[in-house]
Every structure is written in structure tokens, then in C-alpha cells.
Amino acid sequence: MSFESPLEAPSETPLHALSLAQASALIRQGQITPVQLVQAYSDRIEALDAQTHAFVTPTLASAMQAAHQATREIREGHYKGPLHGIPIAHKDVFLTQGERTTAHSRHLQDWLPPISSTLVTGLAQLGAISLGKTACHEFAFGSPAPDDPFPPARNPWNLAHMPGSSSSGSGAAVAAALCLAATGTDTGGSIRHPAAACGVVGMKPTRHAYPMSGVLALAPTLDVAGFITRTALDQALIWDAWHGTDVSATCLADTKSSVLKGLRMGVPAGLWQDPENDQATHDPQIRACFEMALDKLQGAGAQLVSVNLPPRQQVVHAANTLIGYEAFQQLQHIWRDQPAHLGQGLRQKLASASTLSLNDYQAARVQANVWQAQVSAVLAGQVDVLMWPGRESLPETLQALMDQPTAQRSACNRLFSLTGHPALTCPMGVSTQGLPMALQMGSGLNSERHLLQVAHAFEALIAWQWPSLLA
């Protein structure tokens, strides 16, 4: 839903329909309390999560205790900042002390970690309130299968469809308004992919922008922690709370979208055609929506620049090699010694990864370093941001995902996974099938401020209306 100001909402707006920025402002002003907000989300989880399966382990009782504590603290003048009293959720690869962390796997289905991850602990210290742990693909690498111990998350736009991978439950939870934000991890697109599939905002920041300590590793040289939110401004508020910056204020001050005037947008040459088989690479609706988005951005003063980027299939191959090789190092002992503890989708992927050699891995690492330098040069000299669709196709059905667990998906996310540059996906339209379509943008290393400004201005430009799903 769209309001005149991103910090204001009509008085009749249900609490679950507020953005994080709006809820934070109302808490700060004393118009709502964390108890009211957590109660609204608890009610919604209890009513709707049987449809979405976004949560593996809801922690609603402890969330309400934290909400009462936050309400007292704020009432007594101990306001901690924009995340104080905000209900969030955590992907189930983030360790949570004394609360089950499963990685959506039978192998860990009853594990209670002795510690919490640094990000989980830090967010709690900032006043954020955890509603629980969200579903994911097994160990952030597998794929949903009938023999999984927990049901897979479903897309709130259409429950027959998949909500992306592997931070699937986080994407579904935010889209279904079961929380205001959720943590995720992105190794090959696993924050941006579910955000794109679910019509919300996901940002993979520059590596190490958020700590990965206490997060179950998949491919340690590529793993990045981040968030899924409803809006770019919500992302900016979380960024500010963690880093002590003022990105959200910069976004709000740009009322005339001046950040778009003169913006050099790089679009990959040959984006729409695969040179290896001369076939179209994108759904026609996504291509049309993307071109319309570019037209609107040019109308606001941005400039379109065609740029040469590394070949798509080579990027996919290198990324899959790095992810597969490193993932196998993490999980091979379970695959060999306790294969029944793993779902069939993950077993298939690990079987394929077991054939990768150290030479394969080292060659892919060298190539990734070359591409990082190439992309950095493009962003330093030719353009300010790179733009392409957030997904090549509409979210497929969950059954199609189960039928082909190892099929290539979301190849467009792989390049910045390899190079480490920040990238963000945000909604750009809705298909005739009622499924969201997304824009992806990337920028220079450590340039999250500018990336968030551009994303916020784009949302205002297209007047994106966040729908109330599963109301």
C-alpha cells in the first residue's frame, strides 16, 4: 500500500500493514507500543502460517516477554533507536541460544545451540524482537523434497508457487506480513532471489557488512548476511541502526528524486539472448516490465549505458563450482556417514559437488577475481549502477521445484555473488498471473548508501503499492 509519506500511514491502517519505517516512527512517537505490534504479528502468524509455512520455530511467548520489556524501556525514556520494539524473524541457519536451530534439516531438527550468532545478539541489543526462525532450503543449499522434516515455505502471492531460495521462509514471512523484516544469507542469490519471487526488498551488502559469525556456513568465501524487508527505506533503517549512519535520512531528504538525475545506469549488452543456444533468456513479461522501468528512470533523468559484463554461462559455471566445492567441504561428513539425515534434494546436489576437484575450484576462484576487477572498473568509470531483472522467470510452482531440484535458477544473481559487490532486488511490477516481477541493481563496493538511495527513489517513481497478501 502506498502513502503520501513513507513515515505516515492513515489512522485506520492495520498494524501488520505498516512498514518497518512507519512502525518505528509510531513507536518513537508513543502512538503504538511494542506489545501491540508483537500481538498483531503473533495473531497473524497463528492465523496464517499454516498456509505459508514460513516459520519452522515460532517463539511467540518469548517475543511477548521481550515486547513488554521494550515497552517499559521506551516508556521510561530508554529508547534504543529505530529497531526498538520491531518484530523480526531469523533464517534458521542463524544460531539462537537455547532456541532450536535446524537449518531445515533432519540432521539438526532438535539442536539447541549454546550461543547465538553475532547478528542475532546485536539486533536484540538494538531492541529488535525475534518472532522465531524461518524456513529455508536445507543447509541453505538443498531443495525442498517430500522427505523433509518440515514443510517448505510457500509464496504468499500464490500458495502453489515457490517463494525463492534459500531464504525462502524469510521472503514469505515478510511478504505475508508475518514480521517486519527477516535475516537471510546470500551465497549465490539467496536473499535477492526470494525477495524477487515474493515482491519485497532484499539486499546482499558488501561482504562482511553484517557479521557471519555464528551462522551455519555454506560457502564461506561467498556467504553474506543481510535482510529482507518491505521497502528500501526499511533496509536503510536497519543499516543505520547497525552501522550508526544516516542513510534513511538521506533517502527521506531526496523528495525530488534528485539521485536519479544524471544517474548512469549500466545494462548488460546481449541481456535478452543466450549466445550459446540463441534462445531468449527472460520471460517476455519480465523483459517488458524491465524495459518500462528503464523508460521511467530515463524520464526521471537517468541515462542508459550498454556495458560489457562477463559471459552469463561462464559466471554461472564459476559460481556453481565455488559454491558446490565449498558446500561439499562443509557437509561431506553427513553425506557420507549419515545420508538418511539429509533430504533427497541436498543429497543430489552434494553428489554432483563431490565430483569437483581442487583444480576446478582454484580455476573458478582466479576467474572470479578477474571479474571482480572488471566489474569494479565498469562501476568506477562507466556507470553508477548496474541494472537487470531480479529473476529471469516468474516463480515456478513448488511442485516444479521439487521435480527438478538441481535445475539452474536465478542465474542473474550470480555475478555479484562472485565479485562481492552489493546488490539489491525490489519489486517493479506484477505479471498477468498475479506474481511479482523484480528489478535488480548493483553498485560499487561499500556503496550501500547510494544503492539504497536509488532503490528508494525507484520505489517512489513507480508508486509501488505493497499488497496485503492473505488478508
Alpha helices (runs of H) in 300-343, residue ranges in sequence order: 312-337
Concerning whether 190 is annotated as a catalytic residue, the answer is yes
d(CA 106, CA 117): 21
Q: Which residue blocks in 260-388 are alpha helix, DSSP H?
A: 284-299, 312-337, 344-353, 358-381
- The residue type of 72 is R
Spatial CA neighbour of 33 closest among 61, 6, 73: 73
CA gap 134, 355 in Å, rounded? 32
Bond from prior residue into 257 cis (ω within 30 degrees of 0) = no
Whole-number Å distance between alpha carbons of 241 and 208: 16
- 229 and 173 Cβ atoms separated by less than 8 Å: no
Catalytic residue of the set 19, 24, 42, 91: 91
Catalytic residue among 168, 190, 248, 417: 190
Residue 170 CA to residue 192 CA, distance in Å, equals 11
Instruction: Find the helix or strand (DSSP H, E) in which 131 lies.
Output: strand 129-134
| 214 phi, psi to nearest 5 deg | 80, 20
**Strand pairing category for 303-307 and 264-268:** parallel
The verdict on whether 165 is a catalytic residue reads no
Catalytic residue, candidates 143, 166, 170, 257: 166
166 annotated active-site: yes
Which positions are catalytic? 91, 166, 190
